[in-house]
Amino acid sequence: MTGADSIAGESLRPMTRRAGALQRPWSYRLGRLAVTRFRLCAAVVIALAAFNVFWRLPSTTIWSLDEARYGVAASEMLRAHHYLVPTYAGRPEYWNLKPPLGYWLIEASYHLLGPSVLALRLPSALSALAVVWLTMLFCKRHVGRRAAILAGLLVATCFGFLSNHGARSGGLDAELALLMTAGLMTVPRLHDSPAMRLAWGALLALGFLVKSFAILPFVLAAAIYRLTSSERPRGLVRAWLPATAAFAVIVGGWALLRTLHDGTGEFVERMLSEDLFMRAAHNIDGAASLPWSYAAGLLDRFAPWPLFMLAWAGRPRSALSARHRATVKLLLLWALLPLALFSLARTHHHWYLDPSYPAWAILGALAVLKSFRLMPWRIALSCSALALLVCEARLIGHIVLREQRPQDQTFLMSLHPQGCGGQSLVSTSRLEFSQRFILEVLDGFAVYEPNQPGPAAAAPGCRSRVMLSRGPAGEFTVARAFLPG
């Protein structure tokens, strides 16, 4: 057993004599399994995560915020062979003020699999599996193998990380979580490794190209950790110059290309003013903005593990070595600083916390393992096992009940163009983002909405146009208009 495993709060119960032989409790043998068969246990965790991520993934409801809008923009960029400016309904996208890397990932998935719900969500799904793996890898290296397996289980069954806007959606938060988790792994080695500092700068640049200023709390957490550490590189400015240059070249290069293409800096200026300052100072999306909404959301979406952590928080840290105290400090910064900063902002969305779930999971794993020292092991094991089962049952129930595809989406998916490709569809009412995604991306219609210029004629080779109307009760009716000639 490694020193890390013994320090992680993983108590080993005394051996007992039974029938004249020295017997070890089965709890000991179960704990040793994570040490002696770590790769097997990690593979089981990854398999569980893959099931939770991919089960019924192509057949669940399509969310209008924000995956459907991302899906439309990526499809239009792919069809137009234009990879710098995202568009929605043929117009430059200023509703999601995000750089293009997330769109490129969805485009690549469309190119490989064709336009489908699975292709839209595949980048997030694969990113989530990588997050589970990196969480176990980081925890194994800095804490211990038992804690690593448990932390992987906590992420693999985390409702907040897997549900809407997370791993099971076409949003970009799982991709950001992957990049920030990889960044978390490099932070302890930034003081003595120029290569790690360069990698950190590149990871931050990629994170910015995915979700722009959402990286700031995690950058601040890493900076505070390094500045309060006794191990700092000599010549701080010179040591960080290559990493800063890498970030500036990647992000600045994109900003320059976008500005030159548009002939104006409007997109970059609006990204700064609206996506950063307005979201911080105003509630621009109508979501709940109470100061405690994130803390309450974490208690719900990461339940019940915060209760274990609260029980552990008041205990002395004498069992932790200096190295492990440094790891816990980094994890606390990674978990609590985004929680505090996002709580101070006026625009609140639960998925802003997604990149911090790996840190919360490792802290939760440490708290669970600590509970084996603070209470009878049978009680601790029963509570932790029951909590994992409840998390899994909650996720399965959500997939079956809350993610069930509504009838209107199923109906719209059945409206494939008949007889030719590229047939136009004219809607008499405004469409939701999810409805436009289905009609334009999945069905392949050229979609026109009110206040959007309609086609003068049907697509070449077609003699009909589909008319879509919506009744007072929200039901859709379809008529086919035949054109002369």
144, 329 contact by CB (below 8 A): no
What is the Cα–Cα distance from 431 to 275, expressed in whole angstroms? 25
Is 279 found in the same domain as 204? yes
Residue 339 belongs to what domain range? 31-402
What is the Cα–Cα distance from 127 to 179, expressed in whole angstroms? 9
State how beta strands 21-23 and 16-18 pair: antiparallel
What is the Cα–Cα distance from 277 to 268, expressed in whole angstroms? 13
User: Does residue 11 lie in a domain region?
Assistant: no
**pLDDT tens digits, one per residue of 152-166:** 999 999 999 998 888
Determine the pLDDT at residue 462.
Answer: 55
Determine the pLDDT at residue 11.
Answer: 44
Determine the pLDDT at residue 8.
Answer: 45
Is 377 found in the same domain as 358? yes
Indicate the length of the chain as a whole number: 485
Is 203 found in the same domain as 149? yes
Last residue of a domain, one of 357, 383, 402: 402
Is 180 found in the same domain as 58? yes
Determine the pLDDT at residue 236.
Answer: 72
DSSP for 295-328, written as a single string: HHHHHHHTTTHHHHHHHHHTS--TTS-HHHHHHH
Last residue of a domain, one of 356, 382, 402: 402
User: Does residue 78 lie in a domain region?
Assistant: yes
User: Does residue 17 lie in a domain region?
Assistant: no
Is 183 found in the same domain as 139? yes
User: Does residue 4 lie in a domain region?
Assistant: no
Is 451 found in the same domain as 323? no
Determine the pLDDT at residue 374.
Answer: 79
Is 50 found in the same domain as 86? yes
Is 427 found in the same domain as 343? no
User: Does residue 12 lie in a domain region?
Assistant: no
Is 445 found in the same domain as 380? no
Burial class for 364, CB neighbours closer than 10 Å (0-12, 13-18, 19+): buried
- Provide the domain count of the chain: 2
Is 234 found in the same domain as 173? yes
Q: Residue 460 contacts by C-beta under 8 Å, 6 or more apart in sequence? A: 422
Determine the pLDDT at residue 458.
Answer: 45
**pLDDT tens digits, one per residue of 54-76:** 999 999 999 987 899 999 999 99
Q: What are phi and psi of 344, to 5 degrees?
A: -70, -30
Is 146 found in the same domain as 88? yes
Determine the pLDDT at residue 453.
Answer: 63
Last residue of a domain, one of 386, 402, 418: 402
Determine the pLDDT at residue 289.
Answer: 72
Is 96 found in the same domain as 231? yes
**Which residue stretches of the chain have pLDDT < 70?**
1-31, 231-235, 286-288, 314-323, 418-422, 453-464, 481-485
Determine the pLDDT at residue 233.
Answer: 58
pTM above 0.75, yes or no: yes
